Amino acid sequence: MKYIKNKWFWIFLSIIIIFAIAIFNNNSDEKETEEFAKISNRTISQNLLISGKISSSQEVNIKTELGGIIEEIFVKTGDYVKSRTPIARLKILPDPRSNQDADRQIANAKSQLTRIEAAFKRNKDLFNQDVISKQEYEASLQEYQVAKNELIAANNFKKIVNQGYANASDFVSNIVYSTTNGVVLEIPVKVGGSVINRNTFNEGTTIATIANTDEFIFKGQVNENEMSRIVLGKKLDIKITALKNKKFEAQITKIAPKGIDVGGITKFDIEAKLYLVPDDLAQMRSGYSATAQITLEQVSNVLSIEEKYVQYSSDSAFVWTGSAKDSKKKFVKLGLSDGKFIQILGGLSKKDQVILKDSE
């Protein structure tokens, strides 16, 4: 009998202990799973990201004054050239009408010279016989010299039509020269290809593109909604994808006065000069994709909380404080947000326990 009583006593005690342990574990799980927000002071920045390209600050398209066929190219992409460095040689294709005009000018000049030369020789003999005055003789001599010069000019015009220059020393010739110092970025023509000369009605064919590689700029576009906070001289950080997102500092140097429509959104072109050291210049290339980050607004050492804890009702913002079983709604005044953290202007302190809870 005593054995049975002891048995029931131990069974009853075991049940109580198991029940107590279950309650304790349940309370422990609730405490472990309950998440409280960390309210702390931090710097919050509102940034704008702009996609764009890296470009040389100065790119010049070299064109020709004469049309023809590319006979030889003297440089290749990547070469450094100076002003007046030969770029290519052209084989001039004379215009039939210009050729005809040149032949007509030569014929007229020869005919004129023959007539004036005969008159000059007669006047010279008459002057030697004291029949005419010295003044008449000198006038005849001057007319003769002008006629000879006209024939020379007509012959030179014929040379220019056929070969692009009259004398080998002429700068304007069938040789296309660089007009600036820099690196050859592109040669869009090939030997044997036709080129059109630059004139009033045509931009002409680009023989080569030469860039100044001592200075680079970032080119991007800004949405019209952000333009009120974009000003000349504003600093920005540039990340270049090809250089493993290496950061460079830049400064806005140009803002387009007129926007352009991009998919129904008005955007404005901006340019920013990159500040580069010699080692950076060596690895920089025109055309690299880049992202610019502009700090539009920033506050330092302000009370903040993760934005996921904040809920909204009408025009008000609030958080849940306390615990999951005993929580209450607390309204807060908010400031600047960076997308993850948001500034607390009022309604909370570091002592408050803010929990993550669905709105009721």
Q: Is residue 162 assigned to a domain? A: yes
**Same domain as 233, residue 160:** no
Q: Is residue 18 assigned to a domain? A: no
Find the mean pLDDT for residues 73-81.
93
**246-277 residue pLDDT tens:** 999 999 999 999 999 998 999 999 999 999 98
Q: Which of 298, 315, 345 is the last residue of a domain?
A: 298
Q: Which of 210, 236, 262 is the last residue of a domain?
A: 210
Mean pLDDT, the chain, integer: 84
| Total count of domains within the chain | 3
pLDDT over threshold 50, residue 210: yes
Q: Is residue 99 assigned to a domain? A: yes
CATH number of the domain enclosing 337: 2.40.420.20
DSSP for 274-294, written as a single string: E---HHHHHH--TT-EEEEEE
**Same domain as 196, residue 304:** no
Q: Is residue 21 assigned to a domain? A: no
pLDDT over threshold 80, residue 18: no
User: Tokens representing 28?
Assistant: 């422990």
Under the banding of pLDDT at 50, 70 and 90, the label for residue 302 is very high
Q: Is residue 123 assigned to a domain? A: yes
What are the two backbone dihedrals, phi and then psi, of residue 352, each rounded to the nearest 5 degrees? -70, 140
Comparing 46-50, 95-99, 205-209, 210-214, the range with the smallest average pLDDT is 95-99
**Confidence at residue 233, expressed as pLDDT on a 0 to 100 scale:** 93
**Same domain as 123, residue 39:** no
Structural domain span for residue 218: 49-57+214-298
Q: How far apart are alpha carbons 191 and 73 in whole angstroms?
A: 7
**Same domain as 145, residue 106:** yes
**Confidence at residue 9, expressed as pLDDT on a 0 to 100 scale:** 60
Under the banding of pLDDT at 50, 70 and 90, the label for residue 313 is confident
Find the mean pLDDT for residues 12-31.
60
**Confidence at residue 166, expressed as pLDDT on a 0 to 100 scale:** 60
pLDDT over threshold 90, residue 292: yes
CATH number of the domain enclosing 254: 2.40.30.170
pLDDT over threshold 80, residue 6: no
pLDDT over threshold 50, residue 2: no
What residue spans of the chain are helical by DSSP H? 2-33, 96-128, 134-163, 278-283
**Confidence at residue 34, expressed as pLDDT on a 0 to 100 scale:** 57
**Same domain as 240, residue 172:** no
**137-159 residue pLDDT tens:** 888 888 989 888 898 888 877 77
**Confidence at residue 32, expressed as pLDDT on a 0 to 100 scale:** 44
**Same domain as 246, residue 184:** no
Q: Is residue 76 assigned to a domain? A: yes
Tell which residue, 52, 41, 5, has the closest CA to residue 270: 52
**Same domain as 197, residue 65:** yes
DSSP assigned state of 61:
E
- Non-local (6+) Cβ contacts of 252 within 8 A are 230, 231, 232, 233, 234, 236, 270, 271, 272
**101-119 residue pLDDT tens:** 778 888 998 999 999 999 9
DSSP assigned state of 242:
G
**Confidence at residue 170, expressed as pLDDT on a 0 to 100 scale:** 53
pLDDT over threshold 60, residue 1: no
**Same domain as 143, residue 69:** yes
Q: Is residue 153 assigned to a domain? A: yes
Q: Is residue 182 assigned to a domain? A: yes
CATH number of the domain enclosing 146: 2.40.50.100
Under the banding of pLDDT at 50, 70 and 90, the label for residue 12 is low
Tell which residue, 254, 269, 191, has the closest CA to residue 223: 269
